[in-house]
Copies of this chain bind each other. A is one copy, B any other.
Amino acid sequence: MTKERIHQIIFEADTPKGKAFDIGLLIAILLSVLVVMLESVDSINQEYETLLRALEWGFTILFTIEYFLRIYSINKSTKYIFSTMGIIDLLAILPTYLIFIIPSLHTLTVIRVVRIIRIFRVFKLKRYIRGAYTMQIALRKSIPKITVFLLSVLLLIIILGAIMYIIEGEWGGNPDFQDIPNSIYWSIVTLTTVGYGNVVPVTVTGKIIASIIMLLGYGIIAVPTGIITAGIVKTNKNISTQACINCSKEGHDDDAECCKYCGSQIHN
């Protein structure tokens, strides 16, 4: 098989063989992650140890072959090896070999769940990428606002945690609020509306402040939602990616016939 054919099958999904490869890869990834999960369950691991070990080696060898075929068939192989996807592809196979050589590293085994990220390999279909792309633009535009919001939330959490430490821990004698880090942890649990309930305020003042934190957490969720929604709404409005030939400025509307900065015609 020529290098080009291998590349076509592994990296693209246009041909029937390419599609079949993608579906096979998807199933292999999902099964191999399932094996990693089941291995961690003691009762299952003891009963089916041989089977799980065999499957693990099967998938590892399969992914190793695939990894080297990718390096072989791609033109800029060095670039691929050090790309995010290349490193993930390597992390998906390396732990099994490492543990085989040095058995004491058995905790590394869990690193293999990064295999699940490889699922994104299979989603090459245009409409998914387009959807992801629009969202990425919208999210990237929202970063400055989101940063300001996150910072404010972090500050709020730290200050509210410190206040609860004094009221509940120092004054109320509640052992669950005995230090600031634990009070901040409780603050996060409450503000995000997770509410485990293993740590709760017991004093009246503590309950009042807790109520304020809950209502705050319930209300300020509206802010990031508003930011991201507005970002997506704006991105949806089909801004043309075309630059003006004359002044090379961008950001024209889709229906624009002339550049809004210099007035020269835009050929769509």
A contact residues vs B (CB 8 Å cutoff)? 33, 36-38, 40-42, 107, 110, 113-114, 116-117, 119-120, 123, 127-128, 130-132, 134-135, 138-139, 144-151, 153-155, 158-159, 162-163, 165-166, 170, 178-181, 184-185, 188-198, 200, 204, 207, 210-211, 214-215, 217-219, 221-234, 236, 251-253, 255-265
Q: Is the CB of A185 within 8 A of B207?
A: yes
Q: Is the CB of A120 within 8 A of B151?
A: yes
Q: A189-B195, A214-B192, A263-B259 are in contact. Are A155 and B119 (CB under 8 A)?
A: yes
Q: Hey, which chain B residues are within 8 Å of A251, CB to CB?
A: 253
Q: Hey, which chain B residues are within 8 Å of A148, CB to CB?
A: 123, 128, 131-132, 135
Pick the contact of A233: B185, B197, B233 (CB < 8 A): B233
Q: Is the CB of B40 within 8 A of A179?
A: yes
Q: Hey, which chain B residues are within 8 Å of A256, CB to CB?
A: 260-261
Pick the contact of A258: B123, B197, B258 (CB < 8 A): B258
Q: Is the CB of A151 within 8 A of B123?
A: yes
Q: Hey, which chain B residues are within 8 Å of A144, CB to CB?
A: 127-128, 130-131
Q: Hey, which chain B residues are within 8 Å of A192, CB to CB?
A: 193, 214-215, 217-218
How far is it, in angstroms, between the C-alpha of A96 and the C-alpha of B151 when the chains are bound?
26
Number of identical monomers bound together in the oligomeric complex: 4
| Residue picked from A42, A189, A253, most chain B C-beta under 10 Å | A189
Q: A179-B42, A193-B218, A252-B260 are in contact. Are A228 and B228 (CB under 8 A)?
A: no
Q: Is the CB of B36 within 8 A of A180?
A: yes
Pick the contact of A222: B153, B229, B233, B257 (CB < 8 A): B229
Pick the contact of A198: B200, B211, B257 (CB < 8 A): B200
Residue of B nearest to A208 (CB): B185
Give me 11 other A-B pairs in contact (C-beta within 8 A), A37-B180, A222-B229, A223-B228 excluded: A33-B158, A40-B180, A41-B181, A113-B162, A188-B215, A194-B214, A229-B229, A257-B263, A258-B258, A263-B263, A263-B265
